[in-house]
Chain A
Amino acid sequence: MNREDFPILNNNIIYLDNGATTLKPKVVIDKMNVYYSSYSANAHRGDYKISLRVDNEYENTRDLVRKFIHASSKKEIVFTSGTTQSINMVVFGFFSNYLEANDEIILTKSEHASNVLPWFKIAKDNNYKIKYIELDDNYEVTIDNLKKVITPNTRVISLAGITNVIGDARPLREVISIAHDNNILVVVDGAQMVPHMKVDVKALDIDFLAFSAHKMCGPTGVGVLYGKEELLDKVIPQNFGGGMNESFDNLEEVYLKSLPTRLEAGTPNISGVIGFGAAIEYIQSKGINNIRKKELELGKYLYEELSKIRHITMVNKKPSSIISFNVDNIFAQDVAVYLDKYGICVRAGNHCAKIIKDEIGIKNTIRVSLYFYNTKEEIDKLVELLKDKNKILNEML
């Protein structure tokens, strides 16, 4: 599917690390190059033509994002540097004021570091409690287990829509519905979800959603924080400076702009945001549902093929577009180095989900994460190289 759109694929690599970042199509690269070569002015500043063009393109991306996640208003879309900054912005700018001592924050043990450490920090500083939804035998979140950890002190649940270790999709609709019945807010880490499936923030009733452009064919250094307008309006800016103030004369008279610019101090990543717009259009042209269908088909095929290899132990207990596994008695990194010799890019490690080891009992795995431009032939090549354990042992050094 559309491999010719990606210049990097001319290098004969097999790229299976899409959970880390995705490849960039030519339309995205070109879009950013045109900004730098033809109208590289600042945003929201000048009264001249090329600056207005910047504003138009920049705000056009905001509207593309709004439509892509089905938000009500452009005011609800804040550009950040990525999912990490988005989550930090909502944790430190909103929840550190919203929560009170002994309030409870619910997480899971398969969250990415970005959705754990900011919460740890405010919990430690302010005496909030962290609780975890117990994962079931498939390492998934169930509604029964969610209900078990909710107490009258629970104020927020923060979890990934799709996890980055085994790619399981969380039952967001039910989670959010139960949360809201109990006056609990929900933050969704959408880094692995928004690029891979249709997300309708209104239908799901998501309170805050964070995601990154680079995991959906866009440039690095750009992300989004979505928040319901009435909640986002209460986020205290973590950065003050140019672009976010209306006027200031002295300490008592500082007037800030309205949403969303109030939360975008300083010169933003303009080329990145504009490139992100091209990435969204590109993904829309392929169809997000088609993308999901294709990657799940590939994931099923990969799961079945790996299941046939005796010396491979998968963490996943069912197919998914992200599969983590180990070759028995060979360290994950050695397998990754071996595959790299054949131009295959996979991730070895803990995938930034350092507390999931409590659940799965292993720290490090090899992770294959697929996207729509991957092919069955690529999976065949991977599987062929993994089948022969002696070959791995002979060639991994």
Chain B
Amino acid sequence: MKCCDKMDSETKKEIIMEHYMHPLNRDTIEDSNYIKVNTNSETCIDNIDVYVLIKNDILEDIHFDGEACAISTSAASIMTKLLKGKSVREIRDLIKDYYDMIETGNTYDNLNEALVYSDIYKQQNRKGCATIPWRGIEKALNEYEKSK
């Protein structure tokens, strides 16, 4: 589904605010089968824990929790929705595309709802917020692959 590449900025804002006010998969997981990673930033105050359950290279479940701003919280919520059920390989590709979009504004259809952040590259002080959760999943994948 191509949902977001032609969105106007008001629609993007609405989606971001919806995910901020009512984030998906926001909870703390106490299950040792999940990989838990912390992700934060040196330049801002966001601090998020990401919990992932990966089996046979498929992300079966993903949650997050922590203290974070509207951009970071919504980005985490959208990320969990987008990545659940995907393979490690697919996720690696999405991470690459997402980082490129945040840096340059290039858009990729497969980023789906995460395309709401396609204008973030214009806001220096928000780029970090938008990538924090994604750096968390990247870290989690690294841990998963190391443990294989």
Interface residues on A, range: 10 to 19
Of the listed stretches A84-92, A327-335, A371-379, chain B binds A327-335
B17-A393 in contact (CB<8A): yes
A389 at the interface (CB under 8 A from B): no
**Which chain B residues lie closer than 8 Å to A349 at the CB level?**
44-45
**Which chain B residues lie closer than 8 Å to A364 at the CB level?**
45, 67
A306 at the interface (CB under 8 A from B): no
Interface residues on B, range: 10 to 19
A397-B45 in contact (CB<8A): no
Residue of B nearest to A365 (CB): B45
Assembled-state Cα–Cα distance A332/B72 (Å): 13
Assembled-state Cα–Cα distance A334/B17 (Å): 12
Residue of A nearest to B16 (CB): A397
**Which chain B residues lie closer than 8 Å to A397 at the CB level?**
13, 16-17, 70-71
Q: How far is the CB of A139 from chain B (nearest CB, A)?
A: 20
A396 at the interface (CB under 8 A from B): yes
B11 at the interface (CB under 8 A from A): no
Q: How far is the CB of A346 from chain B (nearest CB, A)?
A: 13
Residue of A nearest to B10 (CB): A394
Assembled-state Cα–Cα distance A262/B67 (Å): 47
Assembled-state Cα–Cα distance A332/B69 (Å): 8
Q: Which of A330, A333, A340, A393 contacts B45 (CB 8 A)?
A: A333
For window 46-104 of chain B, which residues contact chain A by CB distance below 8 Å? 46-47, 67-71, 73
Residue of A nearest to B44 (CB): A333
> Quick one: given A337-B125, A337-B126, A364-B45, are A331 and B13 in contact (CB under 8 Å)?
no
Assembled-state Cα–Cα distance A333/B68 (Å): 8
Q: Give the most central of A331, A340, A348, A364: most B CB within 10 Å.
A: A331
A363-B67 in contact (CB<8A): yes
For window 172-211 of chain A, which residues contact chain B by CB distance below 8 Å? none
Residue of A nearest to B45 (CB): A349
Assembled-state Cα–Cα distance A348/B16 (Å): 21
Residue of B nearest to A349 (CB): B45
Assembled-state Cα–Cα distance A337/B16 (Å): 16
A324 at the interface (CB under 8 A from B): no
Q: How far is the CB of A40 from chain B (nearest CB, A)?
A: 34
For window 1-34 of chain B, which residues contact chain A by CB distance below 8 Å? 13, 16-17
Q: How far is the CB of B106 from chain A (nearest CB, A)?
A: 21
Q: Which of B47, B67, B70, B125 contacts A396 (CB 8 A)?
A: B70
Assembled-state Cα–Cα distance A388/B3 (Å): 32
Assembled-state Cα–Cα distance A157/B17 (Å): 47
Assembled-state Cα–Cα distance A331/B67 (Å): 8
A212 at the interface (CB under 8 A from B): no
A110 at the interface (CB under 8 A from B): no
Assembled-state Cα–Cα distance A350/B73 (Å): 19
Assembled-state Cα–Cα distance A332/B44 (Å): 11
Residue of B nearest to A330 (CB): B70
Q: Which of B13, B16, B46 contacts A333 (CB 8 A)?
A: B46
Q: Give the most central of B44, B45, B47, B125: most A CB within 10 Å.
A: B45
Assembled-state Cα–Cα distance A333/B47 (Å): 12
**Which chain A residues lie closer than 8 Å to B68 at the CB level?**
331
Q: How far is the CB of B21 from chain A (nearest CB, A)?
A: 9
Residue of A nearest to B68 (CB): A331
Mask of A322-361 contacts with B, CB within 8 angstroms, 1/0: 0000000011111001001000000011100000000000
B45-A332 in contact (CB<8A): yes
Seed contacts A331-B70, A363-B47, A397-B16; 12 additional CB < 8 Å A-B pairs: A331-B68, A333-B46, A334-B71, A337-B69, A337-B126, A348-B45, A363-B67, A393-B17, A396-B70, A397-B17, A397-B70, A397-B71
25 sampled A-B residue pairs with Cβ under 8 A: A330-B70, A331-B67, A331-B68, A331-B70, A333-B44, A333-B45, A333-B46, A333-B69, A333-B129, A334-B70, A334-B71, A337-B125, A348-B45, A349-B45, A350-B45, A363-B45, A363-B47, A363-B67, A364-B45, A364-B67, A397-B13, A397-B16, A397-B17, A397-B70, A397-B71
Ordered nearest first, which 3 A-B pairs have the shortest CB separation? A333-B69, A331-B69, A349-B45
